[in-house]
Structure 1
Amino acid sequence: MAIHTVLQMLLLLSCITTTTTTTTATAPLAAPASDSGAPIHQKSIRKFPSANCPNKCGDKDIMFPFGIGPGCSQQTSFDLICDNTTYPPRLYLRDRAMDVIFMGDTRAPLVSIGGVLIDFSIAISTSQGAEVYNASLKSPSSNFVFALSNLWITVCNFYIYLIGNSNISPEIPFCTSCDPDELDPDMVYGKKCNHRPPFEAHMVANPVQLKFVPVKEAHQQVQRQIASVVATLYWNINDQHTCAAASADETIFACVSSHSSCVDTPYMPGYSCCCDVGYTGNPYVLGGCSSDHGYNPSARRNVTCTRSCGKIKVPFPFGLEDGCSARTGFQLYCNTSAFMLLDSMTGYITNINITEGYMDIEGTSHDQSNYGPLYIADRDSRRLRWVVANLTCQEAHQHISTYACVSPNSECLYVNSTTMGYSCKCNDGYAGNPYVTGPDGCKCNDDTIKMKCAPSRKQTILSGIAIGLGIGLGLLLLGLSAMFILCRWRRGVQKRLRMKYFTKNHGLLLEQLISSSEDASEKTKIFSLEELERATNNFDHTRILGRGGHGMVYKGILSDQRVVAIKKSNVIEQGEIDQFINEVAILSQINHRNIVKLHGCCLESEVPLLVYDFVPNGSLFEILYSDPSNNFSLSWDVCLRIAAQASGALYYLHSAASISVFHRDVKFSNILLDANYTAKVSDFGASRLVHIDQTHITTHVQGTFGYLDPEYFRTRQLNEKSDVYSFGVLLLELLLRRKPVFTNESGSSQSLSSYFLGEMQARPISEIVAAQVRDEATEEEIISVASLADMCLRIQGEERPTMKEVEMTLQLLHTKRSMSSHVTPENGRAEHSVPSHSGNGVDPTSADSQRCYSLEQEFLSSASLPR
């Protein structure tokens, strides 16, 4: 089996979190054990590498926590040995039995679990007539486990079986190869085998138990053989089992760089570190994570760069050495067998087509999560496309120093309709490299020149005839028809342009969706651009209610005198059109007093427009986290009522609507408040419709960090309990008045849910909640809401309550509070206002006097809040 086939199996998982702790699935195996069988929980003291520590062994980079020499590694488990007596120098793990072929680069911004590709041998000695030989593969320490999907063995005349543990069936026939150049055999000596157990089964082990059975036909010849083993070892820091435990002690916590995050490793106890999104470097050293400057076109000027790997050309913006690629994600690796490997994938590259913008790959699991943020997998073939930056073409043009499409006769284009980011291509009729200038850039080839030249002469003749006829006819008709033709032409151009936008924005699809539902057709209207231009006085700047990060909100008065808010984005990607249609389709089918009302949309402009009812008082996020100096806050009674209303709206979406809807992005900024401070759930762009007979759907993970259901993140199975978890975080915000991800006293980022669950074990709930809640709420109410939040935040979705049970609990609490507050003990007569013990809380009857929005301020928040 060739070494490039082995290299394709190196798997580096993605670190998608940007906080210090994450919730992970229970590891499928027990904690790794020492040679004596006892679990290892080594508590180390945090170390920092010396400036004198070697950073290379031959062509292999050495990065902390690994090191060569005393004091150069995080702990002795990460000691390496460099043998400089060989050529090239060989790198070993500390036991000297395992030769390091390749190490995962901790500088990569998305690496969370490191991988080390190792090579070693085991001797197989069988006596005459022996039937079986057992072998055990052990990692050098408890920081390492074998990835069974990346285990390759080369040996002749043996069947090999992977024998069972808690994660593997009793025996799995394991593919081997007698010929090192044989690729991925499906048969060994006439028998079917599993050459690569599925990684989705979480198959890792330490030690690995193998059984070698001689082939009967060759039994007499088998005496002693050497089996060559190539495997991937996953590694982590395991002096503590979780990020929460490790970060509690700064003397041992390994994630020391600013702009770094900690992630619990899912397949072995412990944790790993990574640089946050937008940063790159080594999170295990001080100052190791620095800002990612993105695309660097000046790297093409480096004339010393190697531009081929074997027979494969490596054009810019890709490169093989440091400083030869336009960004770190475009640096490729050429192994000794002249096969190229991409750092963030498990396969090897067979071709790079710079003109068409794709690369062909072989021998990889076809999973988008393996490729990293710059690459998009083509689901129909083993082909990757790339983006040079996660920018729109308009944004890229504004940064000329980092603009990638530098060749004349090149253009910017979006890679596909669902992923943000751009790449470059040569204009039609040109070929070459759009990322460079000069002779290697986009140029017109001979065939194209010939094709263009012939039509050019014909066009010249036809143009002369047309001009002559035009002059003659124009002298007769110009005076009478010029204005008429001009007006009709302009109207025709506008009509065609609007129809083009209507089609591009999936207007025909939305029309079909609305017409197929009587309820939707009665409540939702597709407005023409002309109607909305009249409503906004042609989008006059004086009608702008406010500007947000993603666009503007205009004041509009429809022909039936309804005052509406019209949302208009600055720019929208083609991939977001589906999300836009999704939101319109969902809102058109639901009708609930606590869900924002959608009047309709317009698809005839370049950017689709949404027409909503006004929701005057902004979002719950703006109010609860507003500047304390404005002396404004919501009373506990109002917060309790808003929570009950929002839970009722979610229960309606889950089970009372004609078709179930999973919101998938429940958070404070998506709960708006009308003039009476009544809750209105909004933003259904990420929601999913679910048939009544479905319990869940499998989808790409989407949501807002801090509110995201860990079970949904782990399984990708979205169900109603995912919204319940997010609502539990919302209840914690009402109790503690902290954001879902906040900076704790030590200066580190922490999730509100992990903070709450940890503090609940250490002190009474009354000491945890915010001062205003402690002053206004009764002890029974605080305990009830905290208990409800605790149930909503259960790791297993089946242990969480339904949204109906959540609503009933909150309604009961609010009803009991209203009854006790409205009836005085002296005369039993009802009061008409909700008390505010803090002195600065508000209720709906007095809200207008304390926090009034003008019509020009209303609905501003929905234009600027992120999804």
Structure 2
Amino acid sequence: MLKMNFLLSSIPCPQAKLLRPTVMALQLLVATAFPVALPGCPESCGSITVPYPFGIGQSCSRPGFNLTCDETRHPPKLFLGDAVEVDAISLSDLTVRIRSKVLNATTLGVDNGASWSGGLTPNATIAVSTQHNVFVAVGCNIIAHLVAGHRDGQGDSRHEYVSACAALCDTLPGLEDASCSGVGCCQTTITQGLPAYGVQFKDLAQTARYDYVDVPFGGAFVVDSEWFSRNVGALRNSTFHFDSFFYGASRKVTSVPTVLEWWLEVERDGDLVMFNQDSGWTCIGLNSFAASIGVSKVGCRCSEGYEGNPYIAVGCQDIDECQQPDVYPCLQGTCINIPGTYRCSATKSIISLPGLITLVAISAGLALLFSLLGVAKITNKLKQRRVKKLRQKFFKKNHGLLLQQLISSNKDIAERTRIFSLEELQQATNKFDHNRILGGGGHGMVYKGILSDQRVVAIKKAKIVLQREIDQFINEVVILSQTNHRNVVKLFGCCLETEVPLLVYEFISNGTLSFHLHGKSESPLSWKDRLRIALETARAIAYLHSAASISVYHRDIKCANILLTDTLAAKVSDFGASRSIAIDETGILTAVQGTYGYLDPEYYYTSRLTEKSDVYSFGVILAELLTRVTPVFSSHSSEVTSLASHFVSTVRDNRLLDILDTQIVEEGGAEDAAVVARLTVSCLSLKGEERPTMRQVETTLDVQSSKVHDNSQTTRVSQNAPNDQSFKGNKGGEGTRLYSLEKEFIQSSEIPR
């Protein structure tokens, strides 16, 4: 409004009197409040705003976004679906904050289950946010499993474990303890965002019970991670104070806040979002844009300089920056608000032209349009300047100066690694076109790109803006820039001008080893190829442990991190969780990280990371190559079974043929597989000191691979072959006892990645 009054002040008095009614009418039109909900629909319930596409009542919401307001309560309460209370709805973050129930293991009973639901209707495109929530178990000697239910191709009900937490107690935990690290309290991430889950409780068997923990008790819940970090002490107090889970003490917590995420479907909500070849995804609201948040998932936001509801035609309104001088300062001159931005005028008057005065007198609307055309260039320059400063800010935040120093100080690294600009990677991926997506998951996307020198690359772009994730990206750059091995994926460089760094790798076209073993590959891997892949992977890991310029412990060796080229050559990838150590060190104490089914039990219980931790994970890969069974699978009794413990017990019972892949037997590789199986058992020893080194594993596999390659028929190998001095095996009785403990550990815990 200030700019209109400013214009009037520069016009002589008689003309200003003629124009004032027209300008006042335009001011009134702009000042009209923009709607939050559809016409005739409630905009709030109590103190909670209800923006469209959510709504209260018939025809006030999109399908699946209908809410209920109970006005009989004081204050009124807002409910979603099956009587789940809503605390807040955010259009900018695409989230809904609800109150969800705490499932009590004491009431339900151990070895029983219950259902957890966000109260969602079948048509709702709403799910639990894997970014904002954690799964928590509080209590003594219980294991809580978060289960996703589905039906297989025959229509039978199946379930899949999403997360698991184990809460241990030897004595009743102290009330002053406000941690959640496994003793009395356990928290873990959620790998699949779903509208509902099953929750199963099991007794975590202990060798002895003490004091008040002679029986397991406690509860589990899905909770907002930020809220939980502030209230973990109160939740522990609720569990352990006066045996509240046994006797229902008044201080017991029965509900916690949970964050749901929501989105629009491209096909279903085509009247709100549409795709334009020139401008990309657009929304129905003026001054808004649509952002892709996944396959067939989009969300709308107001353009920069506007705020409001982008899902309504006139829902986004211009921000008056001049009303917020502390945020949008004008150090000199007068602040003038213009659509989408503002400018600072150094003078309090403008030169009035007779032609402009006549044009304003005839049509105030045309004058306003003419002014906007002149402001467009200023707005564009301001935006470009802001973008440049923002990129410089991200570059410094992402340790760009340190990485530049590392590259410039080492000629070999400088020849292999470079820092890309954002424009280069946007051009290589056609502005990150969704048709260039190679794959991805909850943490981000991988795009196929073509650089200016015609090299085909894979560009890793994360979507989680957490400092821990950024540090893992930088860690991967530092390690791979100093690594040079034919079986380790090459890092060409990175881009640090975005909020989360982008990594540029060589393009590996044939997918992961996990896909070829457990996916729907049309041509299964032969025994000869499997043995060679195992050997190449062992060489890469042995190189990282002892031959690289710095010793590196990968910490997440698994089939999904082994890529295959067109010739089925193995490439070890994903060094985000890796740790580098000094040559004279044998291990380091660090927070436990790894993947469910591959994690070294000794590392899990002691937090001491050694090179033998990678040996254990590699042993699981050898078991997968021999059996084509996933690291964790459901047995006939629908219980989760560890491949590692199942494989060891089967081999020691001389029943290898019961689980050996039939293709290996048909190719005549059973005797060679027996040698590799005994090597696998040594790698899977629960005691790290009894496992071979990766150099010893490489030597054994090299000898066996040479035999398979040189002979057209499988050569019979002596039964005493694995008992040579290249590695040390387990003792039978002790190994059986330790593997029962490992089975219990794998069924009760999942370490977030």
What's the CA shift for 1:562?
1.1
Do structure 1's residue 626 and structure 2's residue 519 form an aligned pair? yes
User: Aligned residue for 1:691?
Assistant: 582
Residue-by-residue CA offset, 1:16-57 (whole Å, 9 max, x unaligned): xxxxxxxxxxxxxxxxxxxxxxxxxxxxxxxxxxxxxxxxxx
Query: How far apart, CA to CA, are the structure 2 residues paired with 1:671 and 1:777?
Result: 26
Match of 1:597 among 490, 495, 499: 490
Query: How far apart, CA to CA, are the structure 2 residues paired with 1:526 and 1:456?
Result: 33
User: Aligned residue for 1:472?
Assistant: 350
User: Aligned residue for 2:571?
Assistant: 680
Task: Go from structure 1 to structure 2 and tell me whether the alpha carbon gap of 1:268 and 1:803 turns closer, same or farther (over 3 Å shift).
Answer: farther
Query: How far apart, CA to CA, are the structure 1 residues paired with 2:485 and 2:139?
Result: 56
Do 1:263 and 1:273's aligned partners in 2 also have CA atoms closer than 8 Å? no
Do 1:554 and 1:566's aligned partners in 2 also have CA atoms closer than 8 Å? yes
Q: How many percent identity over aligned positions?
A: 45
Q: Secondary structure at the match of 1:607?
A: coil
Residue-by-residue CA offset, 1:252-297 (whole Å, 9 max, x unaligned): xxxxx9723564537779x99989xxxx84xxxxxxx7xx354699
Match of 1:112 among 143, 167, 192: 167
Amino acid aligned to 1:472: I
Do structure 1's residue 642 and structure 2's residue 533 form an aligned pair? yes
Match of 1:556 among 439, 445, 449: 449
What's the CA shift for 1:682?
0.5
What's the CA shift for 1:614?
0.9
Task: Go from structure 1 to structure 2 and tell me whether the alpha carbon gap of 1:106 and 1:619 turns closer, same or farther (over 3 Å shift).
Answer: closer
User: Aligned residue for 2:393?
Assistant: 500
What's the CA shift for 1:522?
1.8
What's the CA shift for 1:115?
5.7
1:97-108 to structure 2, matched below 5 A, reads none
Q: Normalising to structure 1: TM-score of the pair?
A: 0.46
What's the CA shift for 1:455?
13
What's the CA shift for 1:777?
4.0
Do 1:262 and 1:272's aligned partners in 2 also have CA atoms closer than 8 Å? no
Do 2:558 and 2:618's aligned partners in 1 also have CA atoms closer than 8 Å? yes
Amino acid aligned to 1:113: L
Which deviates the most, 595-604 or 630-639? 630-639
Do 2:144 and 2:200's aligned partners in 1 also have CA atoms closer than 8 Å? no
Residue-by-residue CA offset, 1:91-111 (whole Å, 9 max, x unaligned): xxxxxxxxxxx9959698855
Query: How far apart, CA to CA, are the structure 1 residues paired with 2:327 and 2:434?
Result: 48
Query: How far apart, CA to CA, are the structure 1 residues paired with 2:593 and 2:687?
Result: 19
User: Aligned residue for 1:738?
Assistant: 629
What's the CA shift for 1:713?
1.3
Q: Secondary structure at the match of 1:472?
A: coil
Match of 1:772 among 655, 659, 663: 663
Q: Secondary structure at the match of 2:465?
A: coil
Do 2:668 and 2:713's aligned partners in 1 also have CA atoms closer than 8 Å? no
Query: How far apart, CA to CA, are the structure 1 residues paired with 2:224 and 2:493?
Result: 40
Query: How far apart, CA to CA, are the structure 2 residues paired with 1:805 and 1:459?
Result: 70
Match of 2:642 among 751, 755, 759: 751
Query: How far apart, CA to CA, are the structure 1 residues paired with 2:326 and 2:693?
Result: 72
Match of 2:594 among 703, 720, 729: 703
User: Aligned residue for 1:608?
Assistant: 501
Structure 2, gaps ≥5 residues long: 1-103, 111-137, 146-164, 185-197, 246-250, 265-323, 337-342, 357-370, 716-751
Q: Secondary structure at the match of 1:781?
A: helix
User: Aligned residue for 1:571?
Assistant: 464
Q: Normalising to structure 2: TM-score of the pair?
A: 0.53
Amino acid aligned to 1:807: E
Query: How far apart, CA to CA, are the structure 1 residues paired with 2:203 and 2:668?
Result: 36
Do structure 1's residue 527 and structure 2's residue 420 form an aligned pair? yes
What's the CA shift for 1:536?
2.3
Match of 1:587 among 480, 486, 489: 480
User: Aligned residue for 1:809?
Assistant: 700
Q: Secondary structure at the match of 2:460?
A: strand
Task: Go from structure 1 to structure 2 and tell me whether the alpha carbon gap of 1:662 and 1:467 turns closer, same or farther (over 3 Å shift).
Answer: closer
Query: How far apart, CA to CA, are the structure 2 residues paired with 1:572 and 1:733?
Result: 34
Query: How far apart, CA to CA, are the structure 1 residues paired with 2:352 and 2:397?
Result: 37
What's the CA shift for 1:774?
2.2
Do 1:264 and 1:272's aligned partners in 2 also have CA atoms closer than 8 Å? no
Query: How far apart, CA to CA, are the structure 1 residues paired with 2:167 and 2:496?
Result: 42
Amino acid aligned to 1:722: S
Do 1:295 and 1:327's aligned partners in 2 also have CA atoms closer than 8 Å? no
Do 2:144 and 2:201's aligned partners in 1 also have CA atoms closer than 8 Å? no
Residue-by-residue CA offset, 1:503-523 (whole Å, 9 max, x unaligned): 232322322333343322221
Amino acid aligned to 2:430: N
Do 2:615 and 2:691's aligned partners in 1 also have CA atoms closer than 8 Å? yes
Do 2:142 and 2:168's aligned partners in 1 also have CA atoms closer than 8 Å? no
Question: CA-atom RMSD, angstroms?
Answer: 5.0
Query: How far apart, CA to CA, are the structure 2 residues paired with 1:605 and 1:644?
Result: 38
What's the CA shift for 1:532?
1.2
Residue-by-residue CA offset, 1:83-138 (whole Å, 9 max, x unaligned): xxxxxxxxxxxxxxxxxxx9959698855334665xxxxxxxxxxxxxxxxxxxxx
User: Aligned residue for 1:721?
Assistant: 612
Query: How far apart, CA to CA, are the structure 1 residues paired with 2:528 and 2:442?
Result: 33
Query: How far apart, CA to CA, are the structure 1 residues paired with 2:423 and 2:410?
Result: 26
Query: How far apart, CA to CA, are the structure 2 residues paired with 1:807 and 1:530?
Result: 43
User: Aligned residue for 2:200?
Assistant: 259
Task: Go from structure 1 to structure 2 and tell me whether the alpha carbon gap of 1:818 and 1:585 turns closer, same or farther (over 3 Å shift).
Answer: same
Task: Go from structure 1 to structure 2 and tell me whether the alpha carbon gap of 1:612 and 1:551 turns closer, same or farther (over 3 Å shift).
Answer: same
Task: Go from structure 1 to structure 2 and tell me whether the alpha carbon gap of 1:636 and 1:468 turns closer, same or farther (over 3 Å shift).
Answer: closer
Do 1:567 and 1:610's aligned partners in 2 also have CA atoms closer than 8 Å? yes
Query: How far apart, CA to CA, are the structure 2 residues paired with 1:334 and 1:262?
Result: 18
1:21-420 to structure 2, matched below 5 A, reads 63=106, 112-114=167-169, 259-261=200-202, 263=204, 265=206, 281=219, 292=221, 294=223, 329=235, 332=238
Query: How far apart, CA to CA, are the structure 1 residues paired with 2:329 and 2:461?
Result: 47
Query: How far apart, CA to CA, are the structure 1 residues paired with 2:240 and 2:649?
Result: 48
User: Aligned residue for 2:683?
Assistant: 792
Do 1:260 and 1:273's aligned partners in 2 also have CA atoms closer than 8 Å? no
Q: Secondary structure at the match of 1:592?
A: coil
Task: Go from structure 1 to structure 2 and tell me whether the alpha carbon gap of 1:553 and 1:264 turns closer, same or farther (over 3 Å shift).
Answer: same
Which deviates the most, 536-545 or 464-473? 464-473
What's the CA shift for 1:502?
1.6
Query: How far apart, CA to CA, are the structure 2 residues paired with 1:621 and 1:632?
Result: 14
Residue-by-residue CA offset, 1:768-814 (whole Å, 9 max, x unaligned): 31211222243431221011011111122111111011011111111
Task: Go from structure 1 to structure 2 and tell me whether the alpha carbon gap of 1:777 and 1:653 turns closer, same or farther (over 3 Å shift).
Answer: farther
Do 1:564 and 1:612's aligned partners in 2 also have CA atoms closer than 8 Å? yes
Task: Go from structure 1 to structure 2 and tell me whether the alpha carbon gap of 1:459 and 1:785 turns closer, same or farther (over 3 Å shift).
Answer: closer
Query: How far apart, CA to CA, are the structure 1 residues paired with 2:501 and 2:475?
Result: 13
Query: How far apart, CA to CA, are the structure 1 residues paired with 2:403 and 2:244?
Result: 41
Q: Secondary structure at the match of 1:708?
A: coil
Do 1:617 and 1:672's aligned partners in 2 also have CA atoms closer than 8 Å? yes
Amino acid aligned to 1:769: L
Residue-by-residue CA offset, 1:703-729 (whole Å, 9 max, x unaligned): 112111111112211111111111111
Q: Secondary structure at the match of 2:448?
A: strand
Task: Go from structure 1 to structure 2 and tell me whether the alpha carbon gap of 1:268 and 1:649 turns closer, same or farther (over 3 Å shift).
Answer: farther
Do structure 1's residue 518 and structure 2's residue 411 form an aligned pair? yes
Q: Secondary structure at the match of 1:567?
A: strand
Task: Go from structure 1 to structure 2 and tell me whether the alpha carbon gap of 1:761 and 1:486 turns closer, same or farther (over 3 Å shift).
Answer: closer
